[in-house]
Structure 1
Amino acid sequence: MKKIVILGAMSTIAIACTRLWANKECEFILIARNKDKLSQIADDLTARGSIVHIKTSDFSDYSKHETLSKECFEKVGNIDILLTAYGTLPDQIECEKNTDIALQEFHTNGLSVISLLNHFAMRMEKQDTVSGTISGTIAVISSVAGDRGRASNYLYGAAKSAVSTYCSGLRARLSRTGIHVLTIKPGFVDTQMTQHLTLPEKLTASPEQVAHDISGAITSKKDVLYTRWFWRYIMLIIVIIPNRIFKKMKF
């Protein structure tokens, strides 16, 4: 039976992933803040044939991260997939005006993710398997925004850049153990977090499309996933634009 832990299980992308994976061969631990909403998601997955446990947690409380990781392993044993899917889309202007807000958003989108990954990674690299070979996947939702800082969202981009860089190093370290680390970089996605934005239709993915891409990347042990696929080439162009031109662009 595949054991799957979701950090930020109420995110639209996470829900799409769980529905894609849900069957009689999956056991989930769903973790987020709101118990009632978690229960609704759990009921849906249970109806699809999965075993589901729910836990409430405030990811901004670093003092509870070690205990949270310990409890997850005690509940299901080895973890086959750890999906980190939570985050916020901060108001860039408010972050510029208020440093406290800026730091809080950086903690939420960057430092808290790194802290949780550190605790879970330490346990996953030591987990026992029947075959004696360590295995498992740590899948982390970052963002294309972390590839280059833009004037319109550089606080969010800075946090995601930190997460992506951390995952790059973690992947190199854990490659020696058999643990696969996948960095997921979505572009525009039609989620609750982006409902207030006017997104270009042809560049915007559905959560189900992103979930399908994530599942495929886990199976193929991809290192970095741009989803949808064309974002890899969009960001390649954005990254190589000279600074003298880039700083004049309004996007």
Structure 2
Amino acid sequence: MTRRVLILGGTSGIAVATARLYAAEGAVIGLVGRDAARLAEVAADLTARGATAVPVFTLDLASEAEPAARLAEMRDAMGGLDDVLLAYGLMVPQAEDERDPATARRTLDVNFTSAALWALAAAALIEAQGRGSLIVIGSVAGDRGRRKNFVYGAAKAGIAALMEGIAHRFGRPGAPPGIRAVLVKPGPTRTAMTAGMDRTGGGWAEPEEVARIIRRAADTNRRWGGPIVYAPGRWRLIMLIIRHLPARIFNRLDI
């Protein structure tokens, strides 16, 4: 049976790497984003890699007022829907968020408010049809507020709480067994979003590594496990340590 996956934010580095895994399986892959030219490039690449079809939906996800209606339209255009991957986001330097309220609002609106509304709409659609996976890309930045990115981190912390709640709802007794909600928390990853950072050192991951974890998460029944997956997995232990550092030690760290 042909898999049908809708990717919200289909031009991000991690999204493209994940889409290529689906393409190799012959999936129908719906791409959603603002940049029509870039979407067309990604669609052509995925078709060449084996995707059965790659419908493109040009849309500003952060400005959409009717996520539920739009999702239904895209599902119908794709002939059904199995997986929804929410992969879009915005990260600006912390100093800009602190200096300019409009910039901070945009960071929060894109990474939390908008993402939350799309996630809620996707969860409702998946639950109504009784099958499917909702996978949202979060960030380890949401695990503890750090002076280098706490506005962005606050939005990601909010999404983590939301996804835990959706997963809790999906896991209740009597819920359809074929539905799942997973938050994938990447550590630092070499994508366009992090292009201005110092990306040397062993803590960085490639988009393809994160993509493999996302693809597995879509198929893993986490009803009896946690709704959060770290990518790569070593970040679960790293962030466990960081979350439990006493403030007197944590405050000395330049992280």
Q: Same fold (TM over 0.5)?
A: yes
2:151 aligned counterpart, secondary structure: helix
Find the aligned partners of 1:250 and 1:238 in 2 and give their Cα distance: 12
Secondary structure at the counterpart of residue 5 of structure 1? strand
Worse-superposed segment, 113-122 or 213-222: 213-222
SS at match of 2:11: coil
Q: Where does residue 209 of structure 1 map in the other structure?
A: 209
Match of 2:98 in 1: 96
Choose 135-144 or 96-105, whichever is displaced more: 96-105
**Paired letter, 1:232:** R
Q: State the partner residue of 2:50.
A: 49
Letter of the structure 2 residue corresponding to residue 163 of structure 1? I
Equivalent position of 1:233 in the other structure: 237
- State the partner residue of 2:188: 188
1:13 equivalent in structure 2: 14
C-alpha RMSD of matched pairs (Å): 1.4
Amino acid at match of 1:78: G
2:124 aligns to what SS in structure 1? helix
| TM-score (norm: length of structure 1) | 0.93
2:244 corresponds to 1:245: no
**1:154 is aligned to 2:150:** yes
Letter in 2 for 1:153: N
- Distance in 2 separating the partners of 1:142 and 1:17: 15
Deviation (angstroms), 1:227: 0.9
Aligned equivalent of 1:65, options 64, 67, 71: 67
Amino acid at match of 2:228: V
Q: Does 1:141 pair with 2:141?
A: no
Deviation at 1:199? 2.4
Shift of 1:24: 5.9
**Amino acid corresponding to residue 147 of structure 1 in structure 2:** D
1:95–1:22 distance in 2 versus 1, CA, 3 Å: same
5+ residue gaps, structure 2, are: none
2:86 corresponds in structure 1 to 84
- Cα distance per residue 1:55-96 (max 9 Å; x no partner): 011112141423321211211243211000011112111111
Q: 1:118 to 1:108 in 2, by over 3 A?
A: same
- Alignment map for 1:118-129 (pairs within 5 Å): 118-127=120-129
The residue that corresponds to 1:131 in the other structure is none
The separation in 2 between residues aligned to 1:205 and 1:112, in whole angstroms, is 26
Q: 1:106 aligns with which of 95, 105, 108?
A: 108
Q: Distance in 2 between matches of 1:218 and 1:157?
A: 24
Structure 1 unmatched ranges of 5 or more: 128-133
The amino acid across from 1:86 in the alignment is: Y
Q: Distance in 2 between matches of 1:90 and 1:141?
A: 17
The code of the aligned residue for 1:116 comes to W
Letter in 1 for 2:176: T
**Are 1:172 and 2:160 matched, yes or no?**
no
Distance in 2 separating the partners of 1:205 and 1:35: 28
List per-residue Cα deviations over 1:156-203 (Å, max 9, x = no partner).
000000001000000111222331011100001111111110024311
Compute the displacement of 1:120 (Å): 1.6
Distance 1:182 1:38 in 2: 25
Give aligned-pair identity as a percent. Answer: 34
Contact 1:62 1:115 in 2 (8 A): no
Alpha-carbon offset, residue 42 of structure 1: 0.6
TM-score by length of 2: 0.92
Q: Which runs of 4+ in 1 moved over 4 A?
A: none
SS in 2 for 1:236: helix
Matched, 1:163 2:159: yes
